[in-house]
Structure 1
Amino acid sequence: MARRPAAARRLSATAALGALVLCGAASVAFAQASAPAAAAPTWTLDPTHTFVHWEVVHMGTSTIRGRFDKAAGSVQFDPKAQQLDVSIAVDTASVSSGVPILDALLKGPSMLDTAANPQAFFVARGATFDGDRPRELRGEFTLRGVSQALTLRSLRWNCGLNPLFRRTVCGGDFEAQIVRSSFGITHSLPFVADTVRLVVQVEAISP
């Protein structure tokens, strides 16, 4: 068999080398695209600055307000990657309106039914950012064993060094509305409104 000219052999070798380089680059790009994103650092919610407030209109006149005094959870937050995941567990028996007789009603079986449902949950696995600040948290809210999609809208957000902890603290206020009858709470309708406004106050301490 006749040997190919040296120029042809050099051209074939160059083409083979180019193919190897391209395959290697493609493999690296695929590996980078397939690699899972690094998990955001876990921040701890400060229970002394984390509360769920609620308000509902009474008989079309005044607004009844209160809060849940106990909430705990964690936050996975990376402002550069615009990642914010939130898990909050609320102690339903910690509901407080400032009126003992109303608190007893709220804890009872016709309302929150705290004996059967000692906790409510909000879990967010998606956030919309405006720069390095979260604008919305999209997640799921569970109350009385019923889970529904819920979006919390940011009212304010800020980060700074806390001199007590000597760590960075980020926090703010978020709001949402729920329809209480969709969670099985129909007591006193329509004299007490079906729509309840929630304001979630959170502060998270950096790891």
Structure 2
Amino acid sequence: MTTSDSTATATTASGALPLPAGSWEIDPFHSAVNFTIRHLGISKVRGRFSEVTAGLVVGGSVETSSVTATVDLASIDTGNKDRDAHVRAPDLLDVERRPTMTFRSTRVIGKEDEWTLEGELTIGDVTKPVTLAVEFGGLQAFPGSPRRHAGFEATGEISRKEYGLDFGAGLLGDVVKIQLDMQFLEPEAAPTEG
């Protein structure tokens, strides 16, 4: 059973977070963590991380809503197996020492379908603030599922040097552009008492 449209949503003076309150789970089959980095300053290399866990908690207000995510850095996929193996190596990402990248939101602001997500991104032992521009794609039923899906696209960028990942200077750009395409599953409805 889906949560009814009358379920409370998180609100602020500027508008309402357009989702029912509760803990939303990531739909891993319809979510992706993508990135772009410049190569030799003349073109771009695009890739993705295929393994990510994330959660969205919609509170009684935007101030009590939050997002967390963990990315398995060894799951990098740039479309070239040899390059991916090199990127995982100790002289580059060093996934043995830095197995994950984690994000924890600190503030959610916005209204309607345009939001800003501020938070902390941790890679290895370095944590830095990061801001993501978030577009809310909507809330839709999924055929055969009792739970609706909420879709989001988030974009931002980080500096590799700030995380101690300054390998390949002159070959790879410092700025990594991030694009997240995420779907979250509506909280399961609480059983009703008979």
- With the shorter chain as reference, the TM-score category is 0.7 to 0.9
The answer as to 2:108 corresponding to 1:119 is no
Q: What runs of 5+ residues in structure 1 fail to find an aligned partner?
A: 1-39
Which of 163, 175, 184 is the equivalent residue of 1:183? Answer: 163
Q: Distance in 2 between matches of 1:204 and 1:153?
A: 17
Amino acid in the other structure paired with 2:151? G
Q: Which runs of 5+ in 2 are unaligned?
A: 1-20, 188-194
Q: Secondary structure at the match of 1:88?
A: strand
Q: What stretches of structure 1 move > 3 A for 4+ residues in a row?
A: 80-84
Q: Give the letter for the 2:181 counterpart.
A: Q
Return the match for 2:46 from 56, 65, 69.
Answer: 65
Distance in 2, Cα, partners of 1:164 & 1:64 = 38
The question of 1:92 aligning with 2:94 is answered no
Residues 127, 134 of structure 1: 8 Å contact kept? no
> How far apart are the structure 2 equivalents of 1:198 and 1:110?
22
Q: Which residue of 2 aligns with 1:30?
A: none
- AA aligned to 2:180 is V
Which structure carries more strand by proportion? 2
* CA contact 2:37–2:172 (8 Å) conserved in 1: yes
- Aligned-pair distance for 1:156? 4.5
Partner Cα separation in structure 2 for residue 142 and residue 104 of structure 1: 22
TM-score normalized with structure 1 length: 0.75
Root mean square deviation, CA, Å: 1.6
Greater share of residues in helix = 1
Larger CA Rg, structure 1 vs 2: 1
Work out the number of aligned pairs and report it: 166
Does structure 2 retain, via aligned residues, the 8 Å contact 1:113–1:144? Answer: no
SS at 1:48 equivalent: helix
Query: For residue 16 of structure 1, what is the aligned residue in structure 2?
Result: none
TM-score, normalisation: structure 2: 0.80
Q: Distance in 1 between matches of 2:135 and 2:56?
A: 18
* Equivalent position to 1:128, from 98, 101, 109: 109
> For 2:131 and 2:116, how far apart are their aligned partners in 1?
7
- Aligned counterparts of 1:74 and 1:155: Cα–Cα separation in 2: 17
Matched, 1:193 2:173: yes
- The whole-number CA distance in structure 2 between the counterparts of 1:125 and 1:178 is 17
